[in-house]
Amino acid sequence: MEQEKRKEIEKKVSETIDKVRPYLLADGGDISLEEITDDLTVKVQLKGACGTCPFSLFTLKNGVEQALKKEIPEIKEVVAVNND
């Protein structure tokens, strides 16, 4: 992927994550962007309450992933990574 396109996608992903962050913060959690792969898989880390919540996969797929795909249709999927 060309560098300019990558930067544009990274900016849109960061902006979209910033839009969903308040909902996670309200529940005692947070999210950080870790990586966007060449095949447009977005890797994030769920933190705080969201990192240990039994509904974190639901939050990730039905919240974060749907928001990102709506704003950036090229995104393939969103996956959580653990940086312990």
Q: How far apart are the C-alpha atoms of 63 and 82, rounded to whole Å?
A: 19
Taking the CA atoms of the chain, what radius of gyration do you get in angstroms? 12
Chain mean pLDDT for the chain: 91
For residue 72 the two structure tokens come to 């950036």
* CB of 28 closer than 8 Å to CB of 56: no
Six token digits for residue 75? 């995104």
Q: Is the pLDDT at 6 greater than 60, yes or no?
A: yes
Looking at the chain, the whole-number percentage of residues with pLDDT higher than 90 is: 71
Class of domain 3-80: alpha beta
pTM of the model: 0.89
Domain residue spans of the chain: 3-80
